[in-house]
Amino acid sequence: MSTTQPTSASPNPPANARLASHPHGAPSSAAGKHPAPPCTLVIFGAGGDLTKRLLMPALYNLAVDGLLDDGMKIIGVNHGEHETGQWREGLHDALQKFAADKASTFHAGKLDDHAWNWVAQRLHYMAGEFEDDDTYQRLAQQLGGDAQGNVVFYLAVGARFFKPIVERLGKAGLLKQDANGGGPFRRVVIEKPFGADLASARDLNQHILSFADESQIYRIDHFLGKDTVQSILAIRFANAMFEPIWRREYIDSVQITASEVIGVEGRGRFYEQTGAFRDMVPNHLFQLLCMVAMEPPNSFDAEAVRNKKAEVFDAIKPLTPGDVVFGQYGTGPAGVAYRDEPDVAKDSQTPTYAAARVHVDNWRWAGVPFYLRTGKRLAARHTEISVQLRRVPFRLFRDTPVDALTPNVLTLRIDPTHGTSFDFNVKTPGPVMQIGAVQSSFDYDDFFTEQANIGYETLLYDCMLGDQTLFQRADSIETAWAAVDGVLHPGDGAAVRVQAYAAGSEGPAEAEALLAQDGRAWRALTPGEPKKS
Ligand code: BG6
């Protein structure tokens, strides 16, 4: 989200430069943007899924857009005795596969050879154990000694490696940069999960910040890289029609859904320890909540935006076990039970579904519940935010055949469709006053030729530019975990029970009951069809 313009690099767009999908301003071509400054990107976890599925496609897209400097270098560090040629080939095959897969978020079409070769020439593999000091000495040599050149260290590794890697980078002098920010930069990108609760997140922050400054740390939440998520601020603040009604006087409630059709996809080991609530709620879903709830910042400056978000986290009323419902999928129309997935315990109590009622206790939002839900193996894939307005008074219609007025709902669709829909009421044609509920819908695809990016392009590019707007600050990470700590560590006997739901359904019945307590109901995941429970 930076407005900063790098100065040091000359553009070198590979052939076939497509239109840029970066969120600044109206549809613009890559020609209007500058490449990031020259830097070396060191990826720890070069052989992992994240590198293959998200980082490489994003780097390829950035290369196609001409947003990487000619002096860019990418060093992949991983345990395992591969070599550069093998690594490149594996990545090339993976990219080709994703490009051919219509369901993939990598909308590259046919892979452009020129762009791929541009990236491939810059890829270098380095075998090394993450917890071995020798790895860091060799890395230092590859980087040309202490503090030479810009470097971004990307931790695409399991959370248990965050501390040891940052510590060794620090001790090897690889995080040293000019205190006044003048010389080459050293930055560290850290994936989620950032901690597993408040205590571990605090501990992780403390540890990392003893080797690097907060300004060097880029904590990723990939939802913030999505154009449709960044667009929430544009929708709210670049239009006159929303802001006046964006408050408790007019809004009844907000529903935030991230439902998935897929199961744990071979990530049983990770998921058993994490579960749906930790995996999605205090990070991705809270970030969406923040985009809806934050006050307008005075600029897109990183601190201006992050301060406003911090205020929202701070105003979240701590959740109690009574505010959440956990579920776990059993066998159903969509497949086998979670407990029958590989690397999952037969008596697992790990939630694959979580619903929560959240209150933001400030002047704008007091009394407006935010209902959050997420789950795997549900009836449909939707990431969306629905803002339901209050009911209008019925007095005018009392002497007409109209028996009910449905409330207006503004839905911001984030994935897999991208756009907004607005539900409102009109008079149906004919001599009698009757009301019909209609919907007006906008789809990005109908207006813009650019494909939505896969999220990591913006985040990588912003990190190379030094723009932290879309990254999470230490204090906000901790306030988010603090808000859910009462659910993760409830008092004796208050632990949240995990309710069963059938794979392919709308989730557990108890989640319906959570909203029914408040006289509300979840929006159907498959509208028009009877709810599958
Ligand atoms: C990840 C979670 O952070 O986000 C996954 O670990 C989840 O479990 C994924 O599937 C969802 O992201 P997206 O962009 O596919 O909606």
Q: What is the tens place of the pLDDT at every residue in 490-515?
A: 988 788 999 999 999 999 999 999 99
Whether 237 and 371 share a structural domain: yes
DSSP string, 468-496: -TTSB-HHHHHHHHHHHHHHHSPPTT-PP
21 falls in which pLDDT band (50, 70, 90)? Answer: very low
How many Å lie between the centroid of ligand 1 and the Cα of residue 150? 30
Whether 210 and 307 share a structural domain: no
Whether 235 and 373 share a structural domain: yes
Task: From 222, 262, 287, 413, give the residue whose CB has the most ligand 1 atoms within 8 Å, as the site to mutate.
Answer: 222
533 falls in which pLDDT band (50, 70, 90)? Answer: low
| 112 in contact with ligand 1, CB cutoff 6 A | no
How many Å lie between the centroid of ligand 1 and the Cα of residue 134? 34
Centroid of chain to Cα 183 = 31
* Burial track 84-103 (b if 16+ CB lie within 10 A, e otherwise): eeebbebbbebbeebbeeee
Higher-pLDDT residue of 460, 26: 460
User: Percent of the chain scored above 70 by pLDDT?
Assistant: 92
Higher-pLDDT residue of 159, 107: 159
Whether 336 and 309 share a structural domain: yes
Q: Rounded to two decimals, what is the model's pTM?
A: 0.91
| Whole-angstrom distance, CA of residue 7 vs CA of residue 22 | 19
Whether 250 and 343 share a structural domain: yes
Name every residue whose Cβ is closer than 8 Å to that of residue 3 and which is 6 or more positions away in sequence.
24, 300
How many Å lie between the centroid of ligand 1 and the Cα of residue 15? 32
507, part of any domain: yes
Mean pLDDT over each residue of the chain, to the nearest integer: 90
CATH number, domain with residue 341: 3.30.360.10
Continuous segment of H or E residues that includes residue 421: strand 419-427
CA neighbor of 256 nearest in space, from 99, 413, 91 = 413
Task: From 221, 284, 288, 352, give the residue whose CB has the most ligand 1 atoms within 8 Å, as the site to mutate.
Answer: 284
| Whole-angstrom distance, CA of residue 242 vs CA of residue 385 | 15
**pLDDT score of 215 more than 60:** yes
13, part of any domain: no
Whether 234 and 343 share a structural domain: yes
Residue nearest to atom 13 of ligand 1 (CA): 223
| 384 in contact with ligand 1, CB cutoff 6 A | no
User: Percent of the chain scored above 90 by pLDDT?
Assistant: 81
The string of pLDDT tens digits covering residues 427-438 is 999 999 999 999
| 383 in contact with ligand 1, CB cutoff 6 A | yes
Number of independent structural domains in the chain: 2
Sheet bearing 217-219, strands edge to edge: 123-127, 73-78, 40-44, 151-155, 186-190, 217-219
Ligand 1 atom closest to the CA of 283, numbered from 1 = 3
| 279 in contact with ligand 1, CB cutoff 6 A | yes
Judge contact between 87 and 123, C-beta under 8 A: yes
Residue nearest to atom 5 of ligand 1 (CA): 279
16 falls in which pLDDT band (50, 70, 90)? Answer: very low
Whether 178 and 295 share a structural domain: no
Among 56-70, 164-178, 517-531, where is mean pLDDT lowest?
Answer: 517-531
3, part of any domain: no
Binding site members for substrate: 222, 226, 260, 279, 376
| 191 in contact with ligand 1, CB cutoff 6 A | no
Residue nearest to atom 10 of ligand 1 (CA): 260
Whether 215 and 230 share a structural domain: no
Whether 172 and 195 share a structural domain: yes
415, part of any domain: no
| 415 in contact with ligand 1, CB cutoff 6 A | yes
Binding site members for NADP(+): 129-130, 192
pLDDT, position 493:
79
Whether 378 and 300 share a structural domain: yes
How many Å lie between the centroid of ligand 1 and the Cα of residue 376? 10
243, part of any domain: yes
461, part of any domain: no
Residue nearest to atom 8 of ligand 1 (CA): 279
Of 200, 220, 240, the position where a domain reaches its end is: 220
Among 108-117, 182-191, 215-224, where is mean pLDDT lowest?
Answer: 108-117
Of 220, 249, 275, the position where a domain reaches its end is: 220
| 453 in contact with ligand 1, CB cutoff 6 A | no
Give me the residues paired with residue 375 across strands.
259, 353
How many Å lie between the centroid of ligand 1 and the Cα of residue 124? 28
Whether 239 and 189 share a structural domain: no
pLDDT, position 317:
98
CATH number, domain with residue 207: 3.40.50.720
How many Å lie between the centroid of ligand 1 and the Cα of residue 222? 8
**pLDDT score of 291 more than 60:** yes
199, part of any domain: yes
Residue ranges making up the domain that contains 181: 39-220
CA neighbor of 249 nearest in space, from 359, 357, 363 = 363
The string of pLDDT tens digits covering residues 377-390 is 999 999 999 999 99
3 falls in which pLDDT band (50, 70, 90)? Answer: very low
Ligand 1 atom closest to the CA of 264, numbered from 1 = 8
The string of pLDDT tens digits covering residues 59-95 is 999 999 999 999 999 999 999 878 999 999 999 999 9
Whether 60 and 209 share a structural domain: yes
How many Å lie between the centroid of ligand 1 and the Cα of residue 251? 29
Of 193, 220, 247, the position where a domain reaches its end is: 220
425, part of any domain: no
| 510 in contact with ligand 1, CB cutoff 6 A | no
Binding site members: 129-130, 192, 222, 226, 260, 279, 376
Residue nearest to atom 12 of ligand 1 (CA): 223
> What does DSSP say about strands 419-427 and 409-415: parallel, antiparallel, or unpaired?
antiparallel
Name the residues annotated as catalytic. Answer: 284
The string of pLDDT tens digits covering residues 336-345 is 999 999 999 9
Give 3-state DSSP helix, strand, coil % of the chain, rounded to 5: 35, 20, 45
